[in-house]
Structure 1
Amino acid sequence: MELSLNFDSKPDITVKKTMYTGSAYRGMTERESIFDPVNAILYTYEPENADTSKIILCVGGCCADPSDYAPLLKNLMKDGYTSLILESNADDIRFTSEFWNSTFFRPFMMRVIYKNDSERYKKLSEEFYNKKIIEAQVLIDIAKKQYPDSTFYLLTDDFPAGIVESTFPDYTNIFLELDGCGLIALTKPLEASLVHPERWGRKNREESFMLPERLSEYIKKIVGN
């Protein structure tokens, strides 16, 4: 599986691939949830002469989709930031898999489909987010082996409040959301109260809308130079 990011300007980007063999959550059928072996590939986008003491880990859902994140990564890497993206083999499981991308299984759709079946909704929601936690853990484990002396920042999206900071308390978390057309929207540190702006409401959508250039500046303030 090759990822295509179009970087028009220097510095040159070195793409490293690290193989990982382990187990990860595959998805939920109507009757059971299962864990399957996964051969994952960690794609490391490292600018020339990059300082790898601070690394941004793109964790979860859309964060693993380079088509959505190319503008953001481009702006960050122009300033020497290293970003890591995890994807699995292209055979039948990706961490952006059919389960992940299925509208049917997305929580906001589940609230509609199972509005009269709260237990069913709860179970599916838990499975959905459990998968994302495993995805994040796999990425962290690989990254720590590849860059044992680095400080990591988790770039996450679409987690409910409390999950990431309680699961990974030793990491600085940067929360963001993508809107429907793939542009970068509101970001905030997970240390603050976390709400999903699209689903839980925000006073002024335009106030929270951030273009990739603005978002990269926001992230750099958190990560530091």
Structure 2
Amino acid sequence: MSGIEIAVSTVIFALRHDTSTDRTSLWMPLVRRVREPYEGSWALPGGPVREDEDLSDTARRTLSETTALSPTYLEQLYTFGHVARAPQPVPGPRVISVVYWALVRPEEAERSIEDENVAWRAADDPPALAFDHSTIVEYALWRLRTKMEYSRIAQAFLGETFTLAQLRQVYEVVLQRTLDPANFRRQVEASGAVEPTGDYLVGGRHRPPKLYRHREASDLADNGPLTRL
């Protein structure tokens, strides 16, 4: 082993409905490695950084090349550079991985590539992953659930407009617990993070629910608490 190489990996989360369980849960796309080490194993999408690329550009390029996804929400998560990330001895340079995470809406996730080398798997129950990617996924899940407690990151899983029931489902799926609908409504409305659009979601058999929107798109960043649920 000689030298050091910088690579980028990305954890992508989306809410997807599992027809086998009739439940909505967090899923992520994985890619199958086609060379050693770990040939044939599942791994996070990513690749080496080119000399003329910023790190975020590498994340977007490799996501596009492997999954056809172009997420709006893309954030640097952490850097993983433990000496024993790969089995020893490994020919070539030591690889330090800068990890990003991305959140996509269900309709975005449906446009991704799915074939024998790209597959969506439940984020909380992934297969054995190459390198230290299982540790990376665990850290990304912890970070997501922590941010859900105090930021407005749930917006990244939704469209421009949504019902409070849809927003509550995002929190319930990510936090893995049931939230009281009335209490959730009171807390969200009191936070001032969302506002009614004046429109309603039509097409159901019951009274159409109000549609809401977040006040500012910039609120996806950690600019202040939404509510602690």
Query: Which TM-score bucket, shorter chain as reference?
Result: under 0.3
The structure with the largest helix share of the pair is 1
**Which of the pair has more CA radius of gyration?**
2
Q: Which has the higher contact order (CA 8 A, sep 6+)?
A: 2
TM-score of the superposed pair, with normalisation by structure 2: 0.27
